[in-house]
Chain A
């Protein structure tokens, strides 16, 4: 029945409308900070971060 189909469609849309933004937000919040060191050991071959 089309009415049932539309109801299923709307429930699916509602789920996506709720879950997808939540997933994106969680994924962004969960991103780990780039690990950094206070200093690098003497004797290491140090070079500037070439990603900046």
Chain B
């Protein structure tokens, strides 16, 4: 075995690589979060983290995919490919963080198992705009997990190189799934052209790099020389190959590396047994052909790795006649010794100034300078992407959730038209500025919800019709408010339930989106739209009152609480149209300060006219 070879392990080069990777990722997350909290101060930390890690993972995935073709087009990028697996694992960890945060945020604390919610809540496979995007992300994450888990050479050896490589080609399937996940998910709600532009630019860059690399490889495959009468193929002249380097030729559909080494010519397969690296682009180091990707070595005279390693590549018979190299295109079994062809040692050789990188050798100075510039450029690009994406997020609404702030409220528990506390406006606090105070009756209907994605707890429901003193937290947006009730105790001797007449406002058909009132009014950011759809379904299913958000072109917004003809709140009947554009016909009532829309599922229709 060559004294200069050792297995790939932690090294100063890898530490520098990982240091640059960590710094770039940290800078990306810092810039993204900083710009987000400045541009969208109403955002919640959970939503900001979901978006930060998700976009970081996608940016890293683009980098992972770009390194392969970049290294084919310009060998100076090979040091980036050498430790690419660390990039891939880091990218997976970011995607995992995104997935876990999103699962907890949108699918936990409800009446269903979170994974069941993620996979089964949205069944709108009949619509591109409403197509379930969450399972696409989960499928991509599963592929990336398999790749990250098998990224170590231990798995490469046990699965064998062809199986391992086929598994890791799954990165392209993962990329397709992630692009679909973004296009059918976030981009359905986010309308900023810059966001579409960033995704399109990334996709275009990956496609362009792969096409350019494929064109180069296709030209190499097409350069096939004709065989002579004895079957040997002419593969150029000795003086055209630099000392210690190779010429790569395509023979019978396979690439062969023809090496010049100390007055001899040897030919062996161009394909490294480690990860199919191009041996012909490597060098003779310590008497062995050295792969430019990860430094695996093979003896040129028999295609065997030096002891104690056991990799072998096919060899080819070769001879030299009047300076012309002739190679028999029929490969010999891997590891077959072949007498090298000898030539006049005085034969000139072209100069070779290209810096050669192998992971276990010091980085050549020329490559260090180039890579430093490249890493800085990538860092600046990541920073720009973070800033652009963070600054282009849509506003999330001014709802407020007084989480951790306990308030008290007294009133009578009523279950119709929506579970609520009927209380006086003085007890409920001052109305929001701009509310129609002049026409509001003295009593206010304060809808109730419970913790998590649930309606008021059974203990509260059992107090229906009775005056109570309740503790909980306020949720408010504009003139609308909701009380997340934690506990209540009956008030002895309290007044009976006050009567309040419902004012009929006539029939109407309103367009908007059915939301769960708790998230929309302030608990979740965003609390509407496709990305929130699954959470809205869970909340309504758990008892959070459903409401229709209706808007006008001039920006006026109103909330209409949805109630059935029997006077009870609508819930499970609406699950299939929650979070989608709908038109709802019904009778409008005003009860206290709340606008009620009495309708049923048959009067609700989807409105999915495309924007363009």
Whole-angstrom distance between the Cβ of B246 and the nearest chain A Cβ: 16
In the complex, are the beta carbons of A35 and B582 less than 8 A apart? yes
In the complex, are the beta carbons of A45 and B480 less than 8 A apart? yes
Question: Is B607 in the interface zone, CB < 8 Å from A?
Answer: yes
In the complex, are the beta carbons of A50 and B398 less than 8 A apart? yes
Interface residues of B in 419-472 (CB under 8 A from A): 432, 434-436, 439
Whole-angstrom distance between the Cβ of A2 and the nearest chain B Cβ: 5
Look across to chain A and name the residue whose beta carbon is closest to the beta carbon of B593. Answer: A45
In the complex, are the beta carbons of A6 and B179 less than 8 A apart? no
Which segment of B288-296, B365-373, B402-410, B554-562 sits at the interface? B554-562
In the complex, are the beta carbons of A30 and B610 less than 8 A apart? yes
- Which residues does chain B contribute within 8 Å of A41, judged by CB atoms? 505-506, 508, 510, 558, 588, 595
In the complex, are the beta carbons of B176 and A3 less than 8 A apart? no
- Which residues does chain A contribute within 8 Å of B262, judged by CB atoms? none
- Which residues does chain A contribute within 8 Å of B435, judged by CB atoms? 45
In the complex, are the beta carbons of B558 and A44 less than 8 A apart? yes
Q: Specify which of A1, A13, A33, A44 is in contact with B595 (CB 8 Å cutoff).
A: A44
Question: Is B307 in the interface zone, CB < 8 Å from A?
Answer: no
Q: Specify which of A19, A39, A50 is in contact with B395 (CB 8 Å cutoff).
A: A50
- Which residues does chain B contribute within 8 Å of A5, judged by CB atoms? 165, 276
Whole-angstrom distance between the Cβ of A5 and the nearest chain B Cβ: 8
In the bound complex, how far is the Cα of B582 from the Cα of A24, in angstroms? 24
Q: Specify which of B129, B179, B439, B503 is in contact with A20 (CB 8 Å cutoff).
A: B179
Interface residues of B in 575-612 (CB under 8 A from A): 580-583, 588, 590, 593-595, 607-612
Q: Specify which of B479, B582, B588, B608 is in contact with A45 (CB 8 Å cutoff).
A: B479
Whole-angstrom distance between the Cβ of B218 and the nearest chain A Cβ: 8
In the bound complex, how far is the Cα of B610 from the Cα of A47, in angstroms? 27
In the complex, are the beta carbons of A37 and B550 less than 8 A apart? yes
In the complex, are the beta carbons of A35 and B581 less than 8 A apart? yes
In the complex, are the beta carbons of B395 and A32 less than 8 A apart? no
Given contacts A33-B609, A51-B394, contact A27 B188 (CB under 8 A): yes
In the complex, are the beta carbons of B510 and A50 less than 8 A apart? no
Which segment of B94-102, B207-215, B376-384 sits at the interface? B207-215
Whole-angstrom distance between the Cβ of A50 and the nearest chain B Cβ: 4
A-contact 0/1 string along B491-503, CB 8 Å cutoff: 0000000000001
- Which residues does chain A contribute within 8 Å of B334, judged by CB atoms? none
In the bound complex, how far is the Cα of B612 from the Cα of A30, in angstroms? 8
Look across to chain B and name the residue whose beta carbon is closest to the beta carbon of A47. Answer: B478
In the bound complex, how far is the Cα of B609 from the Cα of A6, in angstroms? 44
A-contact 0/1 string along B531-564, CB 8 Å cutoff: 0000000000000000000111101111110000
- Which residues does chain B contribute within 8 Å of A39, judged by CB atoms? 552
In the complex, are the beta carbons of A35 and B607 less than 8 A apart? yes
Whole-angstrom distance between the Cβ of A27 and the nearest chain B Cβ: 4
In the bound complex, how far is the Cα of B598 from the Cα of A41, in angstroms? 14
Which segment of B29-37, B109-117, B195-203 sits at the interface? B195-203
Q: Specify which of B207, B558, B582, B593 is in contact with A40 (CB 8 Å cutoff).
A: B558
Q: Which B residues are closer than 8 A to A by beta carbons?
A: 127-129, 165, 169, 172, 175-176, 179-180, 183-184, 187-188, 191, 196, 199-200, 203-204, 207, 210-211, 214, 217-218, 221, 253-255, 270-271, 276, 394-399, 432, 434-436, 439, 477-480, 503, 505-506, 508, 510-513, 550-553, 555-560, 580-583, 588, 590, 593-595, 607-612
A-B contacts, 11 of them at CB < 8 A, read A2-B270, A3-B221, A23-B179, A24-B200, A27-B129, A27-B184, A32-B609, A35-B551, A40-B558, A41-B588, A44-B588
